[in-house]
Amino acid sequence: MSITLVSNSYLEENSAKIRAKPVPWEAYQRAGYIVPEELALIKKVDRQTKAKIESLHAADGQTYSLLYLRLLKKLQRIDTQSCVLVLIADALTDHEERIPWFTTASQSDPELPYGPLLRILESQDDFVQLKGAQILTVLLSSEKSSLQSQQLTPYLHTLSAFVANTSPHKRDVAVQCLEAVLPRPECRKAVWANISLVMGLVDILKHNPSPQMCYQVGFCFWLLSFEQDVAEQIQQKFDIIPLLVDVAQGAAKEKVIRVIVSTFRNLITKAPQANLPAMLVAQLLPFTKNLSTRKWTDEDILEDIQFLRDELSTRFESLTTYDEYRSELVSGHLSWTPVHESELFWKENATKLNEKDYELLKVLIKLLNDSEDALVLAVASHDLGQYVKHYERGKKVITNMGAKTRVMELMSHASADVRYQALLSVQRLVSQPWAAV
């Protein structure tokens, strides 16, 4: 695993410019920042040909790795830091066997190698930040011992800022860095604990990224889905399943579909109860049936597709109409499916919303309060009216839960459909007699 693990055109172009720039090494020595021995070593590689630098690294690589890290620790100027970072990256490029030169530097100085590199991440210079993240990723992903929070926390904090940044270079580098470190269990746990970082990945998928970026972010979610906690909670926290279904349905590249299908398999295998309902509501079953008829260059994808199809089919066949409604409600993606407008359904099932201390009724009211989707608000308003119509104590329950006020507010919503459904519900709330207490 070499430095090419994280590659980016911005880094490559700027690295080429920095290799040709002079650095006042003699001035640093006169000022006492570096000693004569360090000056002699750095002058041998300063603005030299790739072949000459390679021969010096091959002959005395451990000495040079310590030199670079110590210079990074001592020197603060952006141009100097940039030069040293490029020298480190060049030393690592296509040379996996050199990584231990850097990761074992703590034997000479306990602050090395991570102390100076983590401080570099706080730089105000984009190139220095990105180059530091690139090098850190190689070292962290190759580290023999378990990574500690003091190493991971600032590193992931920086990646989170990169992901949220408008710069495509920063997002690109951040996602590549995550792809490289997420195979490590301690990194998966640390990333999952960083809510803003996971939200940033979700947000990338919501804004129609390139096929390559779709694949890379999907790969990150696939790696995350190997963690039990992630599989159990990711749908509830981030509503990821319908988003991934949308991405897969619009994907032109087979590898995008493959990585998403593999993610779904993990989610079903590790946490079926948490994920199958949302998958059914997101119409994943008909999509998998469609996928199973296609020709694939990677035959392994067929096994995953068949697994999804079988699990979803079994779950679908065992569903009652009320189970379907419950799945839709819990998913938060309400639409005008037949159950909503069936008088028979509401006559038979309205009181079931009271079970387990009004568990599902509270879900319905939460959607009314929190959703910004006009379709969800219209359907939820309708359902609340049906509940009141078919359960004689419903008006008092709804009023006590504060939902009556919210439905009245929705009578002035921008959407005509929301206004209409809210009006019908308010009429039922007002006209239904109070039930005896």
pLDDT tens per residue, range 369-424: 999 999 999 999 999 999 999 998 999 999 999 999 999 999 999 999 999 999 99
The predicted structure's pLDDT at residue 432: 46
Q: Is residue 55 part of a domain?
A: yes
The predicted structure's pLDDT at residue 437: 34
Q: Is residue 31 part of a domain?
A: yes
Q: Does 363 score more than 80 pLDDT?
A: yes
The predicted structure's pLDDT at residue 2: 57
31 contact partners, CB below 8 Å, separation of at least 6: none
Tell me what the pLDDT averaged over the chain comes to.
93
pLDDT classification of 80: cutoffs 50, 70, 90: very high
Among 83, 118, 142, identify where a domain stops.
Answer: 142
Among 113, 142, 171, identify where a domain stops.
Answer: 142
Q: Is residue 124 part of a domain?
A: yes
Q: How many domains does the chain have?
A: 2
CATH number of domain containing 404: 1.25.40.150
pLDDT classification of 184: cutoffs 50, 70, 90: very high
Q: Does 288 score more than 90 pLDDT?
A: yes
Q: Is residue 411 part of a domain?
A: yes
158 contact partners, CB below 8 Å, separation of at least 6: 121, 129, 133
Instruction: List b or e across 16-44, with b for residues whose CB sees 16 or more CB atoms inside 10 angstroms.
Output: eebbeeebebeebbeeebbeeebbebbee
What end-to-end distance do the CA atoms of the chain give, in Å? 71
Q: Does 4 score more than 80 pLDDT?
A: no
Q: What pTM, to 2 d.p., does this model score?
A: 0.82
Residue 328 · residue 281 · CB < 8 Å? yes
Residue 152 · residue 113 · CB < 8 Å? no
Q: Is residue 412 part of a domain?
A: yes
The predicted structure's pLDDT at residue 54: 92
The Cα 382–Cα 434 span in angstroms is 20
Q: Is residue 278 part of a domain?
A: no
pLDDT digits over 5-18, tens only?
799 999 999 999 99
Domain that residue 121 falls in: 1-142
